Amino acid sequence: MKSDRTLLIYGLLIGGLISYIFLTIRFYRKIKRIQQTTVRQSRSSILGEVSEKLSPLLPNFPYHTKDLVFVGKGIDYIVFDGLSSGRLREIIFLEIKTNTSQLNKNEQQIRFYLANFPVKYEVLKIKY
């Protein structure tokens, strides 16, 4: 009877140890996957930001670099197409995306507003 109890205790200890090792390995694998995903997303984000700033320097970029104003928040550039040559043809709110990236909610809201509501021009004078 004493040996049965001893075997049971040893069995429980070994089972607990195996479970602990299994769960620890599983936990660290999950952490590693999360870290890899985070690094991948971070690289993608950095690459997107670099692409936004370098795109105007590429030879196939459709607008003259002197016609661009970098905004960077919600809209990447405002393009005053033709202004550098003295003949403004149109004003374009330009968002640059890489690969499969899509507009976020703020960018979608800006695009919707620009398509459906009037945009105005204001001059703010500051007196000293």
What local confidence, expressed as pLDDT, does residue 2 receive?
A: 67
pLDDT of residue 66: 95
Sheet holding 68-70, edge to edge: 68-70, 77-81, 90-94
98 within a domain of the structure (yes/no): yes
Low-confidence ranges of the chain (pLDDT < 50): none
Per-residue model confidence (pLDDT) at position 121: 87
In whole angstroms, give the CA distance from residue 110 to residue 112. Answer: 5
Do residues 78 and 92 make contact, with C-beta atoms less than 8 angstroms apart? yes
Within a domain: 96: yes
Instruction: Give the integer Cα–Cα distance in Å for 30 and 23.
Output: 10
- Domain presence at residue 97: yes
Q: Which stretches within the chain are classed as H helix?
A: 2-54, 105-116
- Whole-number pLDDT of residue 89: 94
The range of the structural domain enclosing residue 95 comes to: 61-116
Total domains in the fold of the chain: 1
Q: Is residue 90 part of a domain?
A: yes
Task: Report the pLDDT value the prediction gives residue 34, as an integer from 0 to 100.
Answer: 93
